[in-house]
Amino acid sequence: MFTMHRFVVVLFTLLVATPAWAEQLSAGILNLEGKGVDNQLVETLSSIVRNEAQQVEKYQVVNKYAINLQDMLIVLNCSADSVACMKQVAEQVNARVLIYGNIEKSGGTFQIALSIFDSQTGRTLNKLNKTISDTDDPVVAFRQEIESFFAREKGLATTRVQIGSPVSNAEVYMEDTFIGNVPLERKGLPPGKYSIRVQHPNYEPWTQVLELKEGADISLWADLVKKPVQGPKNTTTVTTQNEVKQDVVTETDGVGTINWGAWSAVGVGGLALAGSGIFAVLMGNVEQDISDESRAGITETRYNELVDRGETYETAHRVLLGVGAVSLIGGVTWLILSPDSGGNASLGFTGSQVVGTFKW
């Protein structure tokens, strides 16, 4: 009984532990090849490559000592341009994956190339090609590029941008496109530069150019400044002494019998409700896409993309629904309360003033 219990425990441990090591790929890390550069620089960058590769959990480094690719090619009498040759190199190193590259100085620039080769499929899984000026420190510049290159292999968290403001419900625009109200969080944005604008009717707009790097987690605080309050305009009437002021008003024809204000509100409300309906349909399409692709096997990146798109449609749907309802109800109420509003207007002139009368 005791023996059977131990057997079950050992079997369970093996079943649980198997996925951890089964996902690892045996990797051989080869020294960088140098051309026209100092040997010390080649050794330093090779060490950086090896250190970064060892931190990637899915790779199990098999060679404890440095290996030169050119030495292997001479022994095998073949070229690195040949897939069959690189498969032989991987076999000699006893690794499935080969990580290798070269650095070259040409004119006033340094060039580095780095590749990850899968001998089982014969494909290059990832590749880096970068050029820098010889006025820059090559170690510092290439270290950043190598770290960024292996960061993608490590599967670091996607980018995240959080935008807040002391003004609630301030609108956030990215590249002049409305993306929601504060507080706002967006994940999975690709690296690059983005123009951010936060605005509110009673405040001056807040703008910022955001440079987003891979794996970055950035928080922005839009401290909006209130717009200055404009006071009423002063009017001055100038009269002369002993002058008898007499207003002479000349009536003009009415401007019409249509309540343009009310009908405009009704029209705006109708268009906004129609737009809200369109975004509701788009939300349904996104939900259907998620359902369909989930059954076929959806990636996390694709899922997040569909969710972000759905949230954007939902926000637009709600905004247009609110605007449409308010405009439509206000316009209809206006028409009911003023059924005979003709927008009649009169215009007159006095010795010192222009007098206008509007009825609605």
Q: Do 138 and 217 have their domain in common? A: no
Q: pLDDT digit string (tens) for 28-83? A: 999 999 998 889 999 999 999 998 888 888 889 998 888 899 998 999 999 989 99
Q: pLDDT digit string (tens) for 346-356? A: 445 455 554 44
Residue 353, in any domain of the structure: no
Residue 230, in any domain of the structure: no
Q: Is the pLDDT of residue 172 over 80?
A: yes
Look at residue 31 in the predicted model and tell me its pLDDT. 93
Domain of 192, CATH number, reads 2.60.40.1120
Q: Considering 154, 181, 199, which residue would you say is the last residue of a domain? A: 154
Q: Do 142 and 48 have their domain in common? A: yes
Average pLDDT of the residues in 278-287: 85
Residue 245, in any domain of the structure: no
Q: Is the pLDDT of residue 115 over 60?
A: yes
Q: Considering 138, 154, 170, which residue would you say is the last residue of a domain? A: 154
Domain of 124, CATH number, reads 3.40.50.10610
Task: Identify which has the larger pLDDT, 82 or 359.
Answer: 82
What average pLDDT does the chain have?
78
Look at residue 220 in the predicted model and tell me its pLDDT. 93
Residue 84, in any domain of the structure: yes
3-state SS, the chain, equals CHHHHHHHHHHHHHHHHHHHHHCCEEEEECCCEEECCCHHHHHHHHHHHHHHHHCCCCEEECCCCCCCHHHHHHHHCCCCCCHHHHHHHHHHHCCCEEEEEEEEEECCEEEEEEEEEECCCCEEEEEEEEEEECCCCHHHHHHHHHHHHHHHHHCCCCCEEEEECCCCCCEEEECCEEEEECCEEEECCCCEEEEEEEEECCEEEEEEEEEECCCCEEEEECCCCECCCCCCCCCCCCCCCCCCCCCCCCCCCCCCCCCHHHHHHHHHHHHHHHHHHHHHHHHHHHHHHHHHHHHHCCCHHHHHHHHHHHHHHHHHHHHHHHHHHHHHHHHHHHHHHCCCCCCCEEEEECCCCEEEEECC
pLDDT level of residue 95 (50, 70, 90 thresholds) = very high
Look at residue 231 in the predicted model and tell me its pLDDT. 62
Q: Is the pLDDT of residue 149 over 70?
A: yes
Q: Do 93 and 134 have their domain in common? A: yes
Residue 121, in any domain of the structure: yes
Q: Do 122 and 143 have their domain in common? A: yes
Look at residue 152 in the predicted model and tell me its pLDDT. 75
Average pLDDT of the residues in 5-17: 38
pLDDT level of residue 7 (50, 70, 90 thresholds) = very low
Residue 239, in any domain of the structure: no
Average pLDDT of the residues in 298-308: 82
Domain coverage including residue 201: 160-221
pLDDT level of residue 138 (50, 70, 90 thresholds) = confident
Look at residue 76 in the predicted model and tell me its pLDDT. 92
Q: Do 127 and 205 have their domain in common? A: no
Q: Do 148 and 168 have their domain in common? A: no
Look at residue 162 in the predicted model and tell me its pLDDT. 93
Q: Do 42 and 130 have their domain in common? A: yes
260: tokens are: 């343009």
Average pLDDT of the residues in 165-179: 91
pLDDT level of residue 142 (50, 70, 90 thresholds) = confident
Q: Do 34 and 103 have their domain in common? A: yes
Q: Do 66 and 114 have their domain in common? A: yes
Task: Identify which has the larger pLDDT, 355 or 129.
Answer: 129
Q: Is the pLDDT of residue 194 over 70?
A: yes
Task: Identify which has the larger pLDDT, 159 or 210.
Answer: 210
Q: Do 199 and 314 have their domain in common? A: no
Q: Do 170 and 86 have their domain in common? A: no
In degrees and rounded to multiples of 5, residue 167 shows phi and psi of: -95, 110
Q: Do 181 and 289 have their domain in common? A: no
Average pLDDT of the residues in 286-305: 80
Q: pLDDT digit string (tens) for 98-107? A: 999 999 998 8
C-alpha distance from residue 255 to each of 239, 263, 342 (Å):
32, 16, 8
Residue 359, in any domain of the structure: no
Q: Is the pLDDT of residue 6 over 60?
A: no
Domains in the chain, number: 3
Task: Identify which has the larger pLDDT, 239 or 170.
Answer: 170
Average pLDDT of the residues in 163-167: 93
Q: pLDDT digit string (tens) for 223-235? A: 999 988 876 655 5
Report the predicted TM-score, pTM, of the whole model to 2 decimal places.
0.40
Residue 242, in any domain of the structure: no
Average pLDDT of the residues in 109-118: 92
Q: Considering 98, 132, 154, which residue would you say is the last residue of a domain? A: 154
